[in-house]
Amino acid sequence: MKTRRRCMLVLLALAALPFSASVALAQDDEEPVERPLRIYVEIDAWGAQPVGLEYEPATQDTGGTAGPEILRYEHEPNVEAYYEAGLVLAEGVGELRASWFGQTENRTLGQEQPGSFGFGQILSHPLFAGFANDGLADGFDSSATTKFSEFRFDFARTAFRSDVISGKWFVGVRRVTHGRDLSATYYALSPALPAILPPQPDLEPLAEDATVSSDYRGRGIEGGMEFHLPIVPKHFEFEAGFALGVLRGKMDSAYSSTNWAYVYDPDADVEGDEIVLGPSYDILGDPDVAAATDQESFTTRLRTESRSTTSPVIDMFIGVRGRVWKELELLLGFRSAYYGDVGVDLRPKSTTATPVGTNFQDVTDVDRSVEYQGGYFGAAFTF
């Protein structure tokens, strides 16, 4: 419901933009000055830092009264190029412009405390998770990958102009792709197993894996305003702007978890007599039991495709630009862009093991939003 209300507000704001801009233009007493077509190109380095991804691969028992601490990824600015090019038509007609930005972030997180099973396997499905089937590990490794790209195409026109400030309105289309992937591997580095003679390497605990991912692709409309405040006319100015948009897109999501358990088969010739062993595994000290025991995997998988979603977009920038040589300008400022519900974490809520597999009783999906924010520095040239 919150997302729908946001989208309705954005649509109302977009609908009001052309009207307000037309009123402002009508109030402008200056006659436009004709000028030939011009092309401009802007390239800046944007240190965009993603906020709100909520990658959480594990918990850690710190011994405090507040309970386990959730271990989260810390994200840093990732500098990538932001491109914009435009065609300025005759004065009073407007301009066409296009921009593109893309970023891929790869990060890792892991810890080890051999023998101290204090890491919660929160990405794993609970069924037989952990060496003692209690969802705990004494070490883990994880990796998180985030991919983002955006293309915008807009038409802009002067809304008002004075000696103090000028403004432009713009409307256009926007296409966004956003992918997120979190994978974790959990270990039993120093398991409390009884002495097994003769040694059986096959009974060394195997690592357990889990992955959650989603891929979003959407397109929609946008509109906004830009403002320019000359500090030193034709040489140095302050600029700011905002855009509101609504995207309609499709989402693919997937979840996978593989856990291992010790399974004792007292009679290989009899089907269905297997027994899943539980801690403390003292029974494995019996050579005959150990010889008839193996590790079996229990895998849980979920997948959804082309789920429809509506995403609000809000972005803004504030900065300065100065002319350094003829038509060459330098840019410096801060840019922020928010994208609502462009990711999802898909999880099985409750399952039961059956002789033929896993029975899913419920599924949960948590929508994820992201905001990219950071400073930028670049240059613009007009031909």
Would 214 be classed as within a structural domain? yes
* Count: domains in the chain: 1
Compute CA distances 47 → 94, 102, 181, 318, 322, whole Å.
30, 12, 22, 14, 20
Q: Note the pLDDT of residue 120.
A: 97
- C-beta neighbour count of 247 within 10 angstroms: 25
**Residue 167 falls within a domain, yes or no?**
yes
Residue 378 lies in a domain: no
- Polymer length in residues for the chain: 383
On the question of pLDDT at 365 being above 70, the answer is yes
Which of the residue ranges 12-16, 29-33, 198-202 has the most confident prediction, judged by mean pLDDT?
198-202
In a domain? residue 15:
yes
- Res 27: pLDDT: 42
Identify the weakest region by mean pLDDT among 94-103, 261-270, 327-336. 261-270
pLDDT tens digits for 142-168? 999 999 999 999 999 999 999 899 999
Token pair recorded at residue 250: 């499709």
The pairing of beta strand 119-120 with beta strand 166-187: unpaired
pLDDT score of 6 more than 90: no
* Interval 362-379 mean pLDDT: 93
91 confidence band (pLDDT: 50, 70, 90): confident
Position 349 in a domain: no
Place of tokens 């093991």: 353
Quick check: is 212 in a domain?
Answer: yes
Q: How many CB atoms lie within 10 A of CB 36?
A: 8
What's the DSSP call for residue 41?
E
State phi, psi for 305 to the nearest 5 degrees. Answer: -130, 140
Structural domain boundaries, residue 224: 2-36+54-75+94-310
Task: Give a yes or no: residue 42 inside a domain.
Answer: no
pLDDT at 272: 76
Backbone angles phi, psi at 99, to 5 degrees: -140, 155
Q: What is the pLDDT of residue 195?
A: 86
Determine how many CB atoms are found less than 10 A away from the CB of residue 69. Answer: 13
pLDDT tens column, 175-196 = 999 999 999 999 999 998 998 8
**H/E element holding 64?**
none
Mean pLDDT, rounded, for 40-55: 96
3-state helix, strand, coil in the chain (%, to 5): 10, 65, 30
Q: Is 12 exposed, middle or buried (0-12, 13-18, 19+ CB in 10 A)?
A: exposed
The predicted-structure confidence for 231-246, as pLDDT tens digits, reads as follows: 998 899 999 999 999 9
Q: Do 184 and 142 form a contact (C-beta atoms < 8 A)? A: yes
Of residues 204 and 20, the one with the higher pLDDT is: 204
- Structural domain includes residue 108: yes
What pLDDT is recorded for position 352?
56
Nearest-angstrom CA–CA distance, 185 and 298: 15
Judging by DSSP bridges, how do beta strands 78-88 and 95-112 pair with one another? Answer: antiparallel
